[in-house]
Structure 1
Amino acid sequence: MPCTTIDEVLASLDAIIHSPEASTSCIGYFPALYRKVTAQVKIGIASGRFQDGPRMERMDVAFANRYLDAYECWRSGRPVTGSWRAAFEAAQRWKPTILQHLLAGMNAHINLDLGIAAAEICTLDDIEALRHDFDEINNILFAMVQEVTDCIGSVSPWMWILDKLGGRTDDKLIEFSIWRARAVAWQNATGLVRLDKDGLAARVVEIDDFVEGLGRFMLKPGPMMRLGLFLIRLREPNDPRKVLAAFC
């Protein structure tokens, strides 16, 4: 059953994070990060941070349901979008770093799911009213960047060193990447909301093809980058539970 409230989303994410699969693979890394973000969105809604709290909850739930549905499809052997297939396949492999797992999940969820979810809860007449609250999520994400990099650094020694050497520069690069991805997601949303059912399905396939390619490149970049990532991975824990403990 799809979730209908943010509390149900949080409970569903907890179930994945604490599942047997999450203790033997990297499948729990993205939902552990996603739970932290969702909890902050819930706080923002409760504190009146958004212009329309109920609409933001509908948006957040519709967005989360796309990930939760993809995860259940993957678990049960049903078809899943290429973007999520790339992330889920990588979660079964040793080689990707913690950061790569997180980026693969964020790539599928922001670059594919976000625009679809926004178009799903809106019509052509009212989608612009969502823009302010859609952009306000950026500020929540930006405020969390240092916390997330600290979580990664606590279990990834080489990433910790890179973070300290980079100072605020790496944080700003992350913030820009998030802003850019969400800006493209908004463009997708305003385009998707104009389409009929057949046009929507065809456009989603096009977006998914592009996002899948981007995700697979993140997971397997050029030779020099792969070497650097391999060295980072050698110093990271082999027990997924240690990584999850850093986020939970």
Structure 2
Amino acid sequence: MQATTVDEVISFLDQIIEDNKEIPSTMGYFAALYHKVTCKVKEGIENHFFDDNPRMEHLDVIFANRYLQAYTDFKNNTTPSKSWQVAFEKADDYWFIVLQHILLGMNAHINLDLGIAAAEVMKGENINDLKGDFDKINVILGELVHDVEKELSLIWTTLTKILKETERFDTILIDFSMKLARDGAWKYATSLANSPATNWPQLISARDQRITEKVKLVTDPGFFANLILKIIRLEETGSIKTRIEILQKD
């Protein structure tokens, strides 16, 4: 399951989404949102939103293929990166709310995969030439945060109030989807790009380990937060399939 074009990425994501509706599995939550992001990137490419649109399609494909490979590896009982392994393993955890599943996917894909994809697409070139388009991708990722909150409020109607009253959740959401995406991922991309290719496996492994260690912010944010999460989980409406369909909405 490896794509060569953005259209193929979207097709593979469609397949993953439908498979996880059928199972059903919470692994479809992240796939549904990622599908929306990819469609927005495709729209940006077609409308010449980026400085170098062919390069952006190449980056999008490399980026997506890391998720597609991780997903395939896990399904085939082959170990993906540690951060993806944790995200996929938690798919069967009854007590995790939709937001937690999404954040685990974002953690692995944005905080690890995005930097690797950026360095990969700029091999042999100046990584700084990508900075403008990298920031534009983060604009699209930033829009996803608002989509997530809007759609999750359809699954649990008082979620917006809880998010406002417990800044801890807002902090987690912003940290994983925005701050680390803009700062940490770019810093990592430049570090990787400026290192010999022979060092990449070690650098990627070390980054993966650090990102995996941050997972506890999502999986165990503390007694009070865990109590609220359990309340949210018990009051989330609809089946897994229904929730995936909500996350697919434009």
Instruction: Say yes or no: TM over 0.5.
Output: yes
Deviation at 1:176, TM superposition (A): 6.2
User: Are the structure 2 counterparts of residues 236 and 23 from structure 1 closer, same or farther at C-alpha, using a change threshold of 3 Å?
Assistant: farther
Aligned partners of 2:170, 2:179: CA distance in 1, in Å? 14
Q: Conserved in 1, the CA contact under 8 Å of 2:111 and 2:211?
A: yes
User: Are the structure 2 counterparts of residues 223 and 151 from structure 1 closer, same or farther at C-alpha, using a change threshold of 3 Å?
Assistant: same
Q: How many residues align?
A: 244
How big is each residue's C-alpha offset from its partner over 1:8-56, in whole Å with a ceiling of 9 and x where there is no partner?
A: 0001111011005764221100010111111001001100110000000
How big is each residue's C-alpha offset from its partner over 1:174-230, in whole Å with a ceiling of 9 and x where there is no partner?
A: 556533112211111111112234311111111111111112431122222111111
The match for 1:180 is 179
Q: Conserved in 2, the CA contact under 8 Å of 1:154 and 1:160?
A: no
How big is each residue's C-alpha offset from its partner over 1:29-85, in whole Å with a ceiling of 9 and x where there is no partner?
A: 001011111100100110011000000000011000000000000000012111001
Identity of aligned residues (%): 38
Q: Conserved in 2, the CA contact under 8 Å of 1:112 and 1:207?
A: yes
Aligned partners of 1:105, 1:57: CA distance in 2, in Å? 21
The match for 2:3 is 3
TM-score, normalisation: structure 2: 0.90
More off after superposition, 40-49 vs 115-124: 115-124
Q: Which runs of 5+ in 1 are unaligned?
A: none
The match for 1:116 is 116
CA RMSD of aligned residues (A): 2.0
Q: Conserved in 2, the CA contact under 8 Å of 1:115 and 1:185?
A: yes
Q: Which runs of 5+ in 2 are unaligned?
A: none
Q: Conserved in 2, the CA contact under 8 Å of 1:157 and 1:235?
A: no
The match for 2:53 is 53
Deviation at 1:238, TM superposition (A): 6.1
Aligned partners of 1:131, 1:68: CA distance in 2, in Å? 25
Q: Which amino acid aligns with 2:6?
A: I
- For the residue of structure 2 that corresponds to 1:4, the secondary structure is coil
TM-score, normalisation: structure 1: 0.91
Q: Conserved in 2, the CA contact under 8 Å of 1:23 and 1:240?
A: no
Aligned partners of 1:194, 1:180: CA distance in 2, in Å? 22
Q: Conserved in 1, the CA contact under 8 Å of 2:58 and 2:121?
A: yes
User: Are the structure 2 counterparts of residues 244 and 191 from structure 1 closer, same or farther at C-alpha, using a change threshold of 3 Å?
Assistant: same
More off after superposition, 67-76 vs 138-147: 138-147
User: Are the structure 2 counterparts of residues 22 and 118 from structure 1 closer, same or farther at C-alpha, using a change threshold of 3 Å?
Assistant: farther
Q: How does 1:223-238 map to 2 (within 5 A)?
A: 223-237=223-237
The match for 1:200 is 200
Q: Which amino acid aligns with 1:180?
A: K
